[in-house]
């Protein structure tokens, strides 16, 4: 009896210890696998061995969005609630308050598939969600096409709107038409703005108070691609169902360098004259949230009611526009980028006089503020001015994973698809680990195994081999040895011509065995050939 009690206590200790270890690993491994990958445009990677690794990240953007901001009249405003997803953005519509949530997809290293694109489309058009997608290739086209937008898959060159980069001695490098600038708006279509507003630069007061209307700011890009917008069938039938705005565009002389010739006159390089750099699309949507308190002593405030919100998605033709290097002026200056580039066609000074570039953070921070509807009069003021009530989620699942981390990331993605409840998600993983532990513990010990020798089962012996198949089996052994030796799959070996395979064998007797149709072998000869096959490929 005592022995059974000791075994039970031992089992309980093992189970509890295993659950504790499993819980700790599940908390640590996701962070380890995400941070250990050498990837770019991640909000959770700091530093790097090279300037490219250091500056091609989003950590500065993330920290700026999280930091406390000064409030007029004293005190501080909490920053945005910043998070990330490492599994899949397919569950965006299950997020709490999706109309106060933004998904940021910058530099997708893997294409967005159709299922994910459909979920994000519904997130914007039905749930009132906010999305920013920045890419310099076609990896986001599955999603963009649902909104009538197309990313080109080659770099844009702009001979009229490019800036210089300087070396440590203050001497500019050879001008590159891929260093593109543009003057961008926050919520107005640059194609329809009045000329007086087009030349108006946003002042420091407008930037500080997020009131950037009827003005523009300089915006920098490094090797962007171009975007095209084409009206959908619904746009023709119901033009008022959404608002499409070109916030920034390239000059009429810009072209897409498809031929990699850097030649604007090359007929292979499309130059349509209306290439967009930033496109914003807004949808009027109804959501449930706490409404604005009514004025007057007899008003009764409802906890939750139907309110009008806006689903917004912004497409940016360059992921590097959000990078550490271009987000902050101080970091940009270390790489030879200046706040003014009036040495090349006067840059933006011809369009917005006295405009100074102080990093892309001024523009994109204001864009995020505007998309988040902090001034929506239908939302309650109890949280409308509190940025902690708004969530910004960086999509880390679009980064390529290594061989070590891929199985774990894919498994976590599958588990997340099972449930969107965080508690249940970890409970599922813990139960799977516990199930494996119990299954290992209930297997009998080796000393308790028994081998029963049953004479009645002799009749179930397999039948003898047919002698006519001996040669075929020896041939199969030869081809298997060749395939393993040269690390080929069966399909790869089958596609190789006989002459190449004969050179790989390099033994006349074995070549004859492999390809001769008339040669007849005796059993003794086949045994000798099997010995030769065993020795084949080994060093003498």
Which of 385, 400, 415 is the endpoint of a domain? 400
**Who wins on pLDDT, 490 or 126?**
126
Judge if 223 and 324 occupy the same domain: yes
- 174 and 282: one domain? yes
Same domain flag for 332 and 187? yes
Per-residue confidence band for 447, with pLDDT thresholds at 50, 70 and 90:
very low
The rounded distance, in Å, linking the Cα atoms of 494 and 505 is: 15
Give the tens place of pLDDT for each residue, 217-244: 999 999 999 999 999 999 999 999 999 9
Question: Among 380, 400, 420, which residue terminates a domain?
Answer: 400
Q: Report the DSSP beta bridge partners of residue 228.
A: 150
**C-alpha dist (Å) from residue 157 to 52, 270, 324, 352:** 21, 11, 23, 22
Q: Which tens digits make up the pLDDT trace of 164-221?
A: 999 988 888 899 999 999 999 999 999 999 988 999 999 988 888 888 889 999 999 9
Tell me the mean pLDDT in the region 502-530: 84
| Any domain includes 28 | no
Same domain, 199 and 333: yes
Please check whether residues 491 and 352 belong to one and the same domain: no
Average pLDDT rounded to a whole number, residues 402-407: 52
- Range ranked top by mean pLDDT from 6-20, 24-38, 289-303: 6-20
Whether 137 and 252 map to the same domain: the answer is yes
| Domain limits for position 131 | 38-293+301-400
Q: What is the mean pLDDT of residues 133-143?
A: 95
Asked whether residue 494 falls in the same domain as residue 368, the answer is no
Number of structural domains in the chain: 2
- The whole-angstrom separation of Cα 297 and Cα 372 is 30
CB 428 within 8 A of CB 419: yes
State the DSSP code for 201: B
**336/220 Cα distance (integer angstroms):** 13
Q: Are residues 115 and 212 in the same domain?
A: yes
Q: Which of 359, 378, 400 is the last residue of a domain?
A: 400
């Amino acid at each position: 009896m005592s022995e059974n009690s000791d075994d039970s206590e031992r089992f309980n200790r093992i189970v509890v210890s295993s659950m504790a270890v499993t819980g700790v690993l599940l908390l640590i491994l996701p962070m380890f696998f995400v941070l250990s990958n050498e990837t770019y445009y991640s909000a959770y990677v700091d530093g790097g061995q090279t300037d490219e690794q250091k500056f091609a990240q989003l950590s500065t953007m993330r920290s700026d969005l999280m930091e406390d901001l000064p409030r007029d009249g004293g005190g501080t405003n909490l920053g945005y609630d910043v998070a990330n997803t490492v599994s899949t953005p397919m569950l965006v519509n299950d997020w709490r308050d999706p109309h106060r949530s933004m998904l940021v997809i910058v530099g997708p290293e893997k294409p967005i598939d159709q299922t994910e694109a459909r979920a994000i489309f519904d997130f914007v058009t039905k749930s009132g969600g906010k999305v920013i997608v920045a890419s310099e290739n076609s990896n986001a086209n599955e999603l963009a096409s649902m909104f009538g937008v197309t990313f080109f898959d080659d770099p844009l060159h702009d001979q009229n709107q490019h800036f210089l980069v300087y070396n440590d001695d203050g001497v500019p490098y050879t001008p590159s038409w891929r260093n593109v600038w543009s003057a961008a708006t926050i919520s107005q279509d640059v194609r329809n703005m009045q000329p007086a507003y087009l030349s108006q630069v946003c002042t420091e007061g407008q930037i500080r108070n997020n009131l950037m209307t009827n003005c523009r700011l300089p915006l920098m890009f490094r090797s962007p691609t171009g975007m095209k917008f084409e009206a959908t069938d619904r746009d023709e039938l119901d033009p008022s169902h959404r608002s499409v705005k070109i916030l920034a565009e390239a000059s009429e002389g810009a072209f897409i360098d498809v031929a990699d010739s850097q030649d604007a006159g090359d007929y292979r390089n499309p130059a349509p004259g209306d290439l967009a750099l930033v496109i914003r699309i807004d949808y009027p949507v109804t959501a449930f949230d706490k409404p604005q308190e009514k004025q007057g002593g007899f008003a009764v405030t409802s906890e939750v009611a139907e309110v009008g919100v806006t689903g917004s998605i912004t497409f940016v033709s360059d992921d590097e526009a959000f990078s550490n290097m271009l987000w902050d002026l101080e970091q940009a200056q270390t790489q030879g980028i200046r706040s003014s580039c009036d040495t090349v066609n006067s840059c933006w000074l011809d369009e917005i006089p006295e405009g100074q570039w102080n990093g892309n953070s001024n523009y994109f921070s204001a864009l995020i503020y505007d998309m988040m509807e902090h001034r929506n009069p239908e939302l309650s003021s109890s949280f409308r001015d509190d940025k902690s009530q708004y969530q910004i989620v960086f999509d880390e699942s679009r980064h390529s994973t290594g061989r070590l981390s891929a199985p774990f990331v894919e498994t976590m993605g599958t588990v997340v698809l099972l449930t969107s409840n965080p508690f249940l998600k970890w409970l599922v993983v813990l139960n799977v680990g516990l199930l494996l532990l119990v299954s290992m513990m209930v297997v009998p010990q080796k000393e308790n195994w028994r081998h029963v020798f049953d004479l009645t089962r002799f009749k179930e012996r397999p039948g003898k081999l047919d002698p006519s198949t001996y040669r075929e089996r020896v041939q199969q052994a030869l081809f298997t040895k060749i395939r393993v030796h040269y690390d080929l799959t069966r399909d790869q070996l089958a596609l190789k011509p006989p002459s190449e395979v004969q050179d790989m064998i390099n033994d006349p007797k074995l070549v004859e065995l492999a390809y001769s149709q008339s040669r007849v072998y005796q059993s003794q000869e086949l045994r000798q050939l099997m010995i030769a096959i065993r020795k084949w490929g080994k060093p003498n």
